[in-house]
Amino acid sequence: MLEQFGNSRAARTLVAAAGLMVVASAAQATDLTVYTAVEAEDLKKYAKAFNKTNPDINIKWVRDSTGIVTAKLLAEKNNPQADVVWGLAATSLMLLKAEGMTEPYAPVGVGKLDKKFVDSANPPHWTGMDAWIASVCFNTVEGKKNGLPIPTSWKDLTKPVYKGHVVMPNPNSSGTGFLDVSSWLQMFGEEGGWKFMDALHQNINWYTHSGSKPCKQAASGETPIGISFAFRGAKSKAKGAPLEIILPSEGIGWDMEATAIMKGTKNLAAAKKLVDFTITKEANVMYNKGYAVVAYPGVAKKVKHFPAGILEAMIDNKFEWAATNRKRILSKWQTRYDSKSLPKK
């Protein structure tokens, strides 16, 4: 009995191993390790579009929140694992560029992109895909239940009426959280920004790990108000959530999703092919499915459920400032707010 048992298991393992070998030899494709913070539901679509023209390159995604992908890349500095970064905050890529971790490359047709979306170095270290925009998700059903007026500005959110009703992402792990914090510091000034956050902290129910969670929680009524990004809000609204997507009147923070090749990649040729694809008109049409503002001029069409007036509301974001001050801001944020996690009395 034991022998039978052992043999059948061993046989199964052998079959599995043989199967793996067959798969490996059949797909003589280049494996490209791509780090990304793009929403999980879009990844398959992006890879499929790319493989239409490049079937011999196999993308292996490593996906996580912006802060985590950034931290991971920095931690792996001496032993880089990623070939390409496709879809990470431009502020993070600027940081990597400053650390000397990116490979400069001018993708074919880069001249056609909006200059704002291309690194100023020549050849550029990174190229932008689309803009991703802060916004507030407000659950109208829960708002009514709790007697909450619809907030129209960031400052509104610090009013006592919203106490315990606001959720926002932790900027240390979430790129959305960071672009919020960085935009407040730019709009209200360094001192005013921290003062604003002190007041906001009084109303915060909890900080989340990812930038999409606040809006998903607002969509399901776990919280009436989630500080998140417009893309997520529109997606949830499309699914039937009673959401109002609000662009606060002071202006909204934003960041670019961008692409770069990692220095030292062993698959430089394949990496270049991928980056070439990421800036094509076709790719930009694809980004436009979820994002209202994209790098390729003339492509953007109105996105369903997106609030009007986005372009006007976007602040004049100082990316270089945000990138160079990122570390300082995050550690200050952590000592001020992450530490105040005593049980609420």
Partner 1 sequence: MADASLTAQTSDRAIVRPKLSRDDWIMRTVMVAIGVFLLIAVLLPLYTMMSKSVENKDGGFVGFANFAEYFSTPALFNSAFNSLSISILATLIILVVTFIYGYALTRTCMPFKWFFKLVAMVPLLTPSLLGGISLIYWFGNQGVLKDLLFGEKIYGPIGITMGSSYWVFPHALMIVITALSITDARLYEAAEALRTSKLKTFLTVTIPGCKYGLISAGFVVFTLVFTDFGVPKVIGGNYNMLATDIYKQVIGQQNFQMGAVVSVVLLVPAIIAFSVDRIVQRKQVALLSARAVPYTPKPSRGRDMSMLAFCSVIALIIIAMIGMAQYAALVTFWPYNLEFSLNNYDFDVMDGGGWEAFWNSIEMALYTAFFGTIIVFTGAYLMEKGRGFTVGRSAFHMVAMAPLAVPGMVLGLAYIFFFNNPANPFNFIYGTMGILVVATVVHFYTVSHLTAVTALKQMDPEFESVSASLKAPFYKTFAKVTVPVCMPAVFDISIYLFLNAMTTVSAVVFLYSSDTTLASVAVLNMDDAGDVAPAAAMAMMIAYTCAAMRIVQVVLTRGIAIKTQAWRNQ
Q: Catalog residues that contact partner 1 under the rule CB under 8 A.
A: 1-3, 9, 12-13, 16, 33, 40-41, 44, 60-63, 67-68, 71-72, 74-75, 79, 141-142, 170, 172-173, 205-210, 212-217, 220-223, 239-242, 335, 338-344
* Min dist. Cβ of residue 336 to partner 1 (A): 10
In terms of CB distance, is 158 or 174 closer to partner 1?
A: 174
User: Which residues, other chains included, contact 77 with Cβ-Cβ below 8 Å and sequence gap of 6+?
Assistant: 99, 101
In terms of CB distance, is 199 or 315 closer to partner 1?
A: 199
What burial class does residue 104 get, using C-beta atoms within 10 Å of its C-beta: 0-12 exposed, 13-18 middle, 19+ buried?
middle
* Min dist. Cβ of residue 173 to partner 1 (A): 4
In terms of CB distance, is 70 or 127 closer to partner 1?
A: 70
In terms of CB distance, is 172 or 259 closer to partner 1?
A: 172
In Å, what is the CA distance from 277 to each residue of 127, 136, 151, 291?
A: 11, 33, 41, 18
* Min dist. Cβ of residue 184 to partner 1 (A): 20
* Min dist. Cβ of residue 205 to partner 1 (A): 8
Length of the chain (residues)? 345
* Min dist. Cβ of residue 338 to partner 1 (A): 6
In terms of CB distance, is 2 or 269 closer to partner 1?
A: 2
Spell out the long-range contacts of 140-147 with Cβ–Cβ below 8 A and sequence spacing 24 or more. Answer: 140/242, 140/243, 140/244, 141/221, 141/242, 142/218, 142/221, 142/223, 142/224, 143/224, 143/225, 146/224
As a whole number of angstroms, the distance between CA 89 and CA 106 comes to 19
